A and B are shown apart, each in its own frame.
Chain A
Amino acid sequence: MSITREEPNAPAVAAGGKPRSALDLPALRAKLATGNGRDQWLSLEQLAETEEFKELIHNEFPSQVTQLLDPVGRRSFLKLMGASLALAGASACTKQPDEKIFPYVKQPEWIVPGVPLYFASAMPFDGYGQGVLVESHMGRPTKVEGNPDHPGSLGATDLFAQASVLTLYDPDRSQVVRNIGEVQTWANFNTALGALLKAQQAKQGAGLRILSQPVTSPTLARQRQALLAAYPQARWYQVSAAGNEAAHAATKVAFGRPLDVIPHFDKADRILSLDADFLGGGPGMVRAVKDFSARRRVSEGGGQSMNRLYVVETAPTNTGACADHRLPLRPSEIGEVALGVARGLGLPVRAPVGVEAHAEWIAAVVKDLQAHRGRSVVVAGPWQPAGVHLLAAAMNQVLSAEGTTVTYVEPVAGDASTEREGLRELSAAMEAGQVDALVMLDVNPVYDAPADLDFKQRLAKVGTRIHYGLYYDETAELSHWHVPATHYLENWGDVRAFDGTTSIVQPLIAPLYDGKSQPQVLAALLGDGTKTSYELVRETWKGALSGGDFEAAWRKAIHDGVIPATAAAPVQAAWVGLPNAWGATVLPKPAERAADSLDIVFRPDSALYDGRFANNAWLQEVPRAMTRVTWDNPALIAPSTAEKLGLDQGALIDLTVDGRQLQVPVWVQPGQATDSLTLYLGYGRSKAGSVGTAVGFDTYTLRTSTAPWSVAGASAVKVGRHYTLACTQDHHSMEGRNLARVGTLAEFQKDPEFAATEDMRKKSMYPGFKYERYAWGMTVDLSTCVGCNACIIACQAENNIPTVGKDQVSRGREMQWIRIDRYFSGDNLDTPSTVLQPVFCQHCEQAPCEGVCPVNATVHDVDGLNAMVYNRCVGTRYCSNNCPYKVRRFNFTLYNDPHSPVQEMVFNPDVTVRSRGVMEKCTYCVQRINFAKNAAIREQRKVTDGEILTACQQVCPADALTFGDINDENAKVTKLKKDPRNYTLLNDLGTLPRTTYLAGVRNPNPDLARG
């Protein structure tokens, strides 16, 4: 894949090479206010009907068109085409080369060539585990699925687990032990370590420091205990990208000890989120979405069980997009709203300041929460200070939430409340030269440590620096020793989920390189570098697994992917209560702010997280749900702020805060809080690998340990140049009104068929084709989709979809078969409501693409699938031109071009790898359909409902997608298609799509007009 990086001083041009037309924001505002705007708009560009947007509507692939209109380009194009046409015939004259078969020498039990096996494991992520089942083709893991028995998965996963197979086969992974950059051996590392540890033994480890991610693994915890017992003066610090620091600090005050807060959204009728993006991230995200979406399925029981979600937040998030009422506020104002609600609930806190304008909103929330005592919950985001968490805990007590909608458990990853304090302590010790040896376990502090700690400079004062990680990254480069890590699919281990449930991590493949697991590195620190991770993990569980027979219990634990009864039991914590003077001190009054200053909030990127996935092209290229920008992290800014500063899309600004400066492009994002800026972390890596190096902007340079999530008093100065951003939001856009249909619960109860479309089958003069056996169809529930993007990556992994790089994305050539359209609606540019709509091939029964294909490369199959025959396709792209849903993707060049044999290993052997010049699109996972049908044929039966799960359906944490046989009256999908909310996209065209949508239903508070 080729990635071109636009120079930051690029001129203000659009992708087509023409000068960019500036957005006239005041005009847009007037347009919306007078009701002349659209009901729903994809983007500001669509609303403004800019030249660029019109161009994208008329020419699906604009940059290609300019090439054809340019006379010289056209001539050389014809010349080249003539030559390639002449040679096209000749290229067919090759004979197929002989292929070899390599049978096993001794075939392992269970392996049947052509039939994949599934193994349970768990993916550790920021310390916490997510239960997975991994598909293995003759020893080669290719796809990750959720483990239905795991409480953190329930059969679904997030996008990180889906993308993890690509990291496994990343040729840029670190492959050997290194000493000051030179190739070394594990044995020599152990010798060097031995000498180092001997010196430390004399000082009781006084110069030994260890920095790691949060540790939940019982094996690592056991080893840590042993290490700290052997070296009592040594210190172990944990850092997480977005952890429980504030929550633990708050529970320490409220309950006298740090506790993990576990909300139970399945039991909550009313939810108030104080900047908590629980549907968009965090270790319990998949479970949260499962539980939340179960309460959004309105068709069951007429919507009586539907919950209501209030969100106060700064940056637009998935949670905010799903909210029934969303209040975009600057970070400091969120605490004031929390105070307002707390006061309304009768807590003795000070009166909020500066949020008078939202008094009505606060009062409505208070009333609603109070009306649902014991069935409502208040959650606070990790970005909020401890005071807000304390308020949330206090409100939950007042609302009798504890025990029902929220429970508290002993911290799964230990006390995090002193996390940053620890980092400061470590940094000071480094500065003072007290650190003889620093072991950095799977962390990258040179890149991501707070800027004020000056980690890079201070690291130079550490005697011996040892780095352990998957990549030879920024920190490895500055370390004496680097030990390559094994991927979680390569090693044994154990890990606990957000609720404490423990899983054994089981390897699917022998380590591809000379990597070591974390337990092995710890064992080396304990003086025994020869043990395997298998031995180390078994040692931990030898006495701990219940039941008399250890081997049987061990095998069961590995097979099931969960160890029974390991979930943390809710603690009956005594509510210490609020300190007397608490009301005044819990949240200091926000400082006066200058009128023109901006608040910056920092957030982990929704795909790259804290930067650890920077070299994963699938994640780099997934359009972020809220901005739909790929390969970059522009600063999000509200339209009103952009107007004030005279900025438009991609305009570069010089951002200054506390003397630190960064030049970054802006992205005008409706829904961002006014006078604030969102900076996503994880970009601007200087040593990530061939994919992730020098992509985006390093926002860590502005982030300090005192203000890790938000900082006030920033100023932005317009540079006067633009930066090209590869945003997909206007690509493949459909023309038509009312594409994503959303109504309120009241509307739904009054008229359940508020969104229904008429049945176009009845309008046809011709009798329809009769599908005798199966007729595959699908429904997409817009009420439950949270836009987590897991389906996009799952589809990419399942169907061998390539990535194309930033330059190609900016030309509209992204290849993902699923796109999640994000529409804004409402009459206010700054506080629109958001609707998310996944769109992929609709499998029309009357497919417009089929009639225009000159070579019959796209045709129907017996079950009504709109099939794409790659080996017939000659690449005219007529089908894509004629597709009203814009779901076809074309291989403009040879995107699937592995540079290394290891990259080929990620391919799903059941799906053709497409070459250049070939059209492709969603197939409803025809390989899975055929697999199930073949099994049914062997067993002489019919395919049963639920036997086929498409990749997107299987991964969906919200269960928004349902697939099945619409000829089967009892199939779930058939029942859903009879749901009153069922409607057809662009129904008037009479394409009779097999995919239909269930209209979204929101549950706004009748007391609040809107917002």
Chain B
Amino acid sequence: MSQVFHPASNVLAKLSLVLVLAGAGGGLFLLDRLFRSPYNTEASVSRQQPVPFSHKHHAGELGIDCRYCHTSVEISASAGIPPTQTCMNCHSQIWTWSPTLEPVRASYRTDESIQWTKVYDLPDFVYFNHSVHVAKGVGCVSCHGRVDQMNLTYQVPTLQMGWCLDCHRDPAPNLRPRSEVFNMAWTPPADNPNLGAELMAAHDVHGRIDCTACHR
């Protein structure tokens, strides 16, 4: 009886085994990349907002302090989104004719909220607290990036748990003196490589990595 398969089939069979394994591995790798990609995390993706508010203009060029609008960042879990009233403090005087600002004026007239799309949206089982991070000397920039250089605001990190844990495991690189928390342009002084460790001691930072720190 003659051979059913050509001798080259052996190679094909081995090759197909390798290809199947490589395909499965590659598929998993692709899924993992997809999971971490901006497609899933929406990092670096600017959101459409009812008013194209520019942090670059307000915080960067005009130099308005973060806390002028985000009033509760030092006392509450939530940093606070400013009420329409805050916008109107200035915009009742300047740019009063601007069509871009019509949703703001409409909100003020009708007493209905401006509906902003949440940019930094954590899952509902995560309880992040702004005030504690501010008190421990974590700068706004650490999570929000150079907001003072953003036209439309976007999310900088992935906001995945791994990203949170990176810092909670090693908080030192992200600590700064409390006076510099709201300073967008602050960089660690080159002459003191131990600043992070010093601040950890001074600010009593422990970097909790146990579950109840964020989940409850």
Q: Which of A762-806 contact B (CB under 8 A)?
A: none
B27 at interface (Cβ–Cβ under 8 A)?
no
Q: Out of A113, A926, A934, name the residue touching B216 (CB < 8 Å).
A: A926
A106 at interface (Cβ–Cβ under 8 A)?
yes
Whether A869 contacts B211 by the Cβ 8 Å rule is yes
Whether B117 contacts A98 by the Cβ 8 Å rule is yes
Q: Which of B122-138 contact A (CB under 8 A)?
A: 123-125, 127, 129, 131-132, 135-136
Nearest CB of B to A91, in Å: 14
Q: Out of B76, B83, B136, B213, name the residue touching A103 (CB < 8 Å).
A: B83
Whether B212 contacts A867 by the Cβ 8 Å rule is yes
Whether B216 contacts A114 by the Cβ 8 Å rule is no
Q: What residues of chain A lie closer than 8 Å to B47, measured between beta carbons?
A: 98
Whether A113 contacts B72 by the Cβ 8 Å rule is yes
B98 at interface (Cβ–Cβ under 8 A)?
no
Q: Out of B40, B83, B111, B215, name the residue touching A871 (CB < 8 Å).
A: B215
Interface flags, B66-97, vs A, CB<8A=1, else 0: 00000010111110111111000000000000
Whether A934 contacts B131 by the Cβ 8 Å rule is yes
Q: Which of B162-194 contact A (CB under 8 A)?
A: none
Q: What residues of chain A lie closer than 8 Å to B127, measured between beta carbons?
A: 910, 927, 930
Q: Out of A103, A871, A926, A934, name the residue touching B82 (CB < 8 Å).
A: A103
Secondary structure of the A contact surface, majority rule: loop
Q: With A and B bound together, what is the CA distance between A859 and B212 in angstroms?
A: 10
Q: What residues of chain B lie closer than 8 Å to A101, measured between beta carbons?
A: 81, 115-118
B33 at interface (Cβ–Cβ under 8 A)?
no
Whether A115 contacts B81 by the Cβ 8 Å rule is no
Q: What residues of chain A lie closer than 8 Å to B211, measured between beta carbons?
A: 859, 861, 867, 869
Nearest CB of A to B78, in Å: 4
Q: Which of A905-933 contact B (CB under 8 A)?
A: 910-913, 923, 926-927, 929-930
B16 at interface (Cβ–Cβ under 8 A)?
no
Known contacts A865-B212, A937-B136; is-contact A114 B121 (Cβ 8 Å): no
Interface flags, A104-140, vs B, CB<8A=1, else 0: 1111000011110000000000000000000000000
Nearest CB of A to B74, in Å: 7
Q: With A and B bound together, what is the CA distance between A930 and B107 in angstroms?
A: 36
A-B contact count (CB 8 A): 124
Q: What residues of chain A lie closer than 8 Å to B100, measured between beta carbons?
A: none
Q: With A and B bound together, what is the CA distance between A940 and B213 in angstroms?
A: 18
Nearest CB of B to A888, in Å: 16
Nearest CB of B to A472, in Å: 32
Whose C-beta in chain A lies nearest to the C-beta of B159? A96
Whether A115 contacts B76 by the Cβ 8 Å rule is yes
Q: With A and B bound together, what is the CA distance between A107 and B84 in angstroms?
A: 8
Q: What residues of chain B lie closer than 8 Å to A938, measured between beta carbons?
A: 74-75, 131-132, 135
A862 at interface (Cβ–Cβ under 8 A)?
yes
Q: What residues of chain A lie closer than 8 Å to B125, measured between beta carbons?
A: 870-871, 912
Q: Give the contact-size bracket for chain B.
A: 35 or more
Q: What residues of chain A lie closer than 8 Å to B85, measured between beta carbons?
A: 104-107
Q: Which of B1-44 contact A (CB under 8 A)?
A: 40, 42
Whether B213 contacts A861 by the Cβ 8 Å rule is yes
A99 at interface (Cβ–Cβ under 8 A)?
yes
Whose C-beta in chain B lies nearest to the C-beta of A772? B206
Known contacts A912-B125, A923-B216; is-contact A95 B113 (Cβ 8 Å): no
B57 at interface (Cβ–Cβ under 8 A)?
no
Q: Which of A36-80 contact B (CB under 8 A)?
A: none
A860 at interface (Cβ–Cβ under 8 A)?
yes
Whether B72 contacts A99 by the Cβ 8 Å rule is no
Whether A105 contacts B213 by the Cβ 8 Å rule is no
Q: How many residues of A contact B (CB 8 A)?
A: 39
Q: Out of A95, A103, A911, A926, name the residue touching B81 (CB < 8 Å).
A: A103
Nearest CB of A to B133, in Å: 10
Known contacts A95-B40, A113-B80, A923-B216; is-contact A859 B108 (Cβ 8 Å): no
Which of B114, B123, B216 is the most central at the interface, judged by chain A CB atoms within 10 Å of its CB?
B216
Q: With A and B bound together, what is the CA distance between A850 and B80 in angstroms?
A: 38
Q: Out of A114, A867, A937, name the residue touching B77 (CB < 8 Å).
A: A114
Known contacts A912-B125, A937-B132; is-contact A100 B116 (Cβ 8 Å): yes
Q: With A and B bound together, what is the CA distance between A114 and B210 in angstroms?
A: 22
Q: What residues of chain A lie closer than 8 Å to B215, measured between beta carbons?
A: 867, 869-871, 912
Which of A96, A105, A112 is the most central at the interface, judged by chain B CB atoms within 10 Å of its CB?
A105
Q: Out of A99, A104, A107, A862, name the residue touching B210 (CB < 8 Å).
A: A862
Q: What residues of chain A lie closer than 8 Å to B81, measured between beta carbons?
A: 101, 103, 113
Nearest CB of B to A597, in Å: 57
Q: Which of A225-275 contact B (CB under 8 A)?
A: none
Whether B114 contacts A103 by the Cβ 8 Å rule is yes
Q: With A and B bound together, what is the CA distance between A940 and B131 in angstroms?
A: 12
Interface flags, A919-960, vs B, CB<8A=1, else 0: 000010011011000100110100000000000000000000
Q: With A and B bound together, what is the CA distance between A101 and B123 in angstroms?
A: 15
Q: With A and B bound together, what is the CA distance between A934 and B114 in angstroms?
A: 30
Known contacts A865-B212, A927-B216; is-contact A98 B80 (Cβ 8 Å): no
Q: With A and B bound together, what is the CA distance between A98 and B45 in angstroms?
A: 13
B112 at interface (Cβ–Cβ under 8 A)?
yes
Q: With A and B bound together, what is the CA distance between A859 and B206 in angstroms?
A: 19
Interface flags, A689-718, vs B, CB<8A=1, else 0: 000000000000000000000000000000
Q: With A and B bound together, what is the CA distance between A574 and B201 in angstroms?
A: 72
Q: Out of B72, B84, B123, name the residue touching A115 (CB < 8 Å).
A: B72
Nearest CB of B to A938, in Å: 5
Nearest CB of A to B148, in Å: 21
Q: With A and B bound together, what is the CA distance between A867 and B208 in angstroms?
A: 14
Whether B121 contacts A106 by the Cβ 8 Å rule is no
Q: With A and B bound together, what is the CA distance between A681 and B123 in angstroms?
A: 45
Q: With A and B bound together, what is the CA distance between A926 and B125 in angstroms?
A: 13
Q: Out of B114, B118, B136, B208, name the residue touching A862 (CB < 8 Å).
A: B208
Whether A106 contacts B113 by the Cβ 8 Å rule is no
Whose C-beta in chain A lies nearest to the C-beta of B75? A112
Nearest CB of A to B215, in Å: 5
Q: Which of A845-867 contact B (CB under 8 A)?
A: 859-863, 865, 867
Q: Which of A868-894 contact B (CB under 8 A)?
A: 869-871
Known contacts A95-B40, A105-B107; is-contact A115 B115 (Cβ 8 Å): no
Q: What residues of chain B lie closer than 8 Å to A115, measured between beta carbons?
A: 72, 75-77
Whether A102 contacts B113 by the Cβ 8 Å rule is yes
Q: What residues of chain B lie closer than 8 Å to A98, measured between beta carbons?
A: 47, 117-118, 121
Q: What residues of chain A lie closer than 8 Å to B129, measured between beta carbons?
A: 930, 934
Whose C-beta in chain B lies nearest to the C-beta of A933? B132
Whether A105 contacts B116 by the Cβ 8 Å rule is no
Whether B210 contacts A867 by the Cβ 8 Å rule is yes
Whose C-beta in chain B lies nearest to the C-beta of A924? B212
Q: What residues of chain A lie closer than 8 Å to B212, measured between beta carbons?
A: 861, 863, 865, 867, 923, 926, 929-930
Q: Which of A459-515 contact B (CB under 8 A)?
A: none
Q: What residues of chain B lie closer than 8 Å to A923, measured between beta carbons?
A: 212, 216
Nearest CB of A to B62, in Å: 20
Interface flags, A299-321, vs B, CB<8A=1, else 0: 00000000000000000000000
Whether A100 contacts B131 by the Cβ 8 Å rule is no
Whether B72 contacts A96 by the Cβ 8 Å rule is no
Q: With A and B bound together, what is the CA distance between A380 and B92 in angstroms?
A: 70
Q: What residues of chain A lie closer than 8 Å to B40, measured between beta carbons?
A: 95
Q: With A and B bound together, what is the CA distance between A460 and B86 in angstroms?
A: 61
Q: Out of B76, B111, B112, name the residue touching A114 (CB < 8 Å).
A: B76
Whose C-beta in chain B lies nearest to the C-beta of A858? B211
Whether B83 contacts A112 by the Cβ 8 Å rule is no
**Which 3 pairs between the two chains have the least Cβ-Cβ distance?**
A114-B78, A861-B210, A102-B113
Q: Which residues of A contact B (CB under 8 A)?
A: 95-96, 98-107, 112-115, 859-863, 865, 867, 869-871, 910-913, 923, 926-927, 929-930, 934, 937-938, 940
Return 10 A-B CB contacts under 8 Å, by A number.
A95-B42, A98-B47, A100-B116, A103-B114, A112-B75, A112-B76, A114-B78, A867-B212, A923-B212, A930-B127
**Additional A-B contacts beyond A865-B212, A912-B215 (12; CB < 8 A):** A101-B117, A102-B115, A103-B83, A103-B113, A105-B84, A106-B111, A112-B80, A115-B76, A860-B210, A862-B206, A910-B127, A929-B212
